[in-house]
Amino acid sequence: MSSICEVIKYEGDNTCFIWKHPSEDFNSLTQLIVHESQEAIFFMNGQALDLFGAGRYTLETQNIPKIGKFLNRATGDKNPFHCEVYFINKAEQMAIKWGTDSKVQYIDPKYGFPLAIGASGEMSLRADDSRKLLLKLVGTEKYLGQQKLVSFFRAFLMTRVKTYIAQVIKANAISIFELDENLASFSENIHKLLIPDFADYGISLERFFVTNIVKPDGERQYEKFKELHFRQYADIAEAKLRQQTDLIYAQTEAQKIVIDSQAQATKRAQEGYTYAQERGFDVAEKVAQNEAVGQFTNMGIGFGTMAGVGGAIGGIVGGAVNNAIDAATQPVQPQQSAQPADDMAAFKKKVEKLTVMKEAGMISEEEFEQMKAKLLADIL
C-alpha cells in the first residue's frame, strides 16, 4: 500500500517523449508537479481522465488508506481503484538522424535518363497531441524515447520520404546536378509533405533537413551526362573570359594610341608647329622626291595643304612649283636632229603639266590657254 501522501514529478532525460511514473494506486491528496516543458495525463481505472499542464495539483483518487486495506483483502490484496500518471515531454528534440535504406529510382527531369540516389539528414520532433501520442503509440508501455520513436517511424519514413523525394524532383524539375544548390528548398518541400503524416500520431515535425545526396558516381551513364552538363557551363565561361580578354586588349591598344597622340601633340608644341604644318612637311618632302609636277595627282593631296606651311618649307614648295612652271613654259630650242614627232610628244607632255597645274589651282584658265598657245606657236 502506498503512503498517505506522495509527490509525483519527472526530471529525467530530455531525449524521452513519454515516461510513466512508477508510483501506481497512490492515495488521495497526492501532489502532482508538472514542469513548463511537460504535460501529464492521469489515468483512473484504465481511462485517461485529465490532462495537466504546467503547475502543482492535488490528485483526488478513491484510495483512502484504512478503507483501502479492507478493500484489498476482499480482492486478494489487489487495489480495485487503479490509478497512474504519464508524463509527456513537450520540448523540441533536435538532431534526430534519418536516412533512406535504399536508393530512390527516378527519371532526371532535365536530361531524361534514369537515376538512383540516396538521401540522409536530420529532423526535429515535438510531442504535439499528448493524448493521441500516448494512446496510438505507447499504450501501456512505460517509456518512449527518441530511438524507439524513430524505430516506430522507420518503415513509415522510408516509404514516405522516398516517394516525396521523387515527387519533389519531378514537380520542380530539379536536375541531379542542381540538387546540392537547391537543398534548402528541396528540404522545405519534403518537410511540408511529411507534416500531416506525423500529425496523425500526435507528433509535430518541427524541422526536416536533407543534408546529403548520394549520387551514382562511377556509373557510366551518369558520368557521361555529368561531363556534358559541366562542359556546357565551362564553354560559356571560357567564351566570356575570351570576350573580356579581347575587350581589355582593345582598350589597351586604344589607350596606347591616345598616349602616342598626346606625346606627338606635346612634341609639336615644344618644336613650334601644328599638325597641319606637319602634314605640309610631308607633302613638301614628297614633292621634292618626284621628278615631275605631273605626278602630284598620284599623291592624293591638294596643293592647298602646303599653303599653310609657311616659312622655309613654303619657300621650298614655292620653288619646286616655279621650277615646274618654268620647265613647262620654256620655249623648245630647235635642234637639227629633232623630228616633228618628237616636238609633238614634248608639246603634249608640257600641256599635261600645265593641265595638272590648272587643276591644282596654280594657274588660271586664262593663263593655261595663253601658255598652251605659246607652246603651240613654238613648234610651228
pLDDT per residue as tens digits for the range 191-243: 999 999 999 999 999 999 999 999 988 888 888 888 887 777 767 777 777 88
Give the model's pLDDT for residue 326.
Answer: 57
Residue 334's Cβ-side half-sphere holds a number of Cα atoms within 13 Å equal to: 5
Strand partners of residue 88:
18, 39
Give the model's pLDDT for residue 74.
Answer: 45
Q: Which of 171-175, 184-188, 311-315 has the lowest mean pLDDT?
A: 311-315
Which cell numbers hold the place of 50? Answer: 485529465
Summarised one tens digit per residue, pLDDT across range 329-363 is 555 555 444 456 667 777 788 888 888 777 767 77
Using only C-alpha atoms, what is the Rg of the chain?
A: 54
Q: Say which residue the cell 518512449 belongs to.
A: 144
Question: What kind and span of H or E run contains 97?
Answer: strand 93-99
Q: Can you list the alpha helix ranges (DSSP code H) found in the chain?
A: 65-74, 130-133, 146-171, 183-199, 220-271, 275-289, 304-307, 311-329, 340-359, 365-379
Summarised one tens digit per residue, pLDDT across range 65-79 is 444 444 444 444 455
Distance CA 200, CA 135 (A): 12
Q: Which of 8-22, 118-132, 268-282 has the lowest mean pLDDT?
A: 268-282
Backbone angles phi, psi at 218, to 5 degrees: 100, -20
Give the model's pLDDT for residue 283.
Answer: 55
Q: Are strands 30-34 and 93-99 parallel, antiparallel or unpaired?
A: unpaired
Q: Say which residue the cell 590657254 belongs to.
A: 369
- Cα distances from 336 to residues 66, 328, 343, in angstroms, run 175, 22, 12
Give the model's pLDDT for residue 345.
Answer: 77
Q: Please, which residues have CB within 8 angstroms of residue 375's CB and are 6 or more apart in sequence?
A: 329, 332, 347, 350, 351, 354
Q: Can you list the alpha helix ranges (DSSP code H) found in 202-336?
A: 220-271, 275-289, 304-307, 311-329
Q: Please, which residues have CB within 8 angstroms of residue 254's CB and are 6 or more apart in sequence?
A: none
- Answer whether 328's CB lies under 8 Å from 352's CB: no
- Answer whether 5's CB lies under 8 Å from 29's CB: yes
Summarised one tens digit per residue, pLDDT across range 242-262 is 888 888 888 888 888 888 888
Q: Is the pTM of this model over 0.85?
A: no
- Cα distances from 85 to residues 8, 9, 67, 82, 351, in angstroms, run 8, 9, 22, 11, 134
Which cell numbers hold the place of 267? Answer: 612634341
Give the model's pLDDT for residue 298.
Answer: 44
Number of H helices, E strands in the chain: 10, 12
Give the model's pLDDT for residue 285.
Answer: 56
Opening angle at CA 116, ends 115 and 122, nearest 5: 130
- Answer whether 100's CB lies under 8 Å from 120's CB: yes
Q: How confident is the model at residue 64 (pLDDT cuts 50, 70, 90)?
A: very low
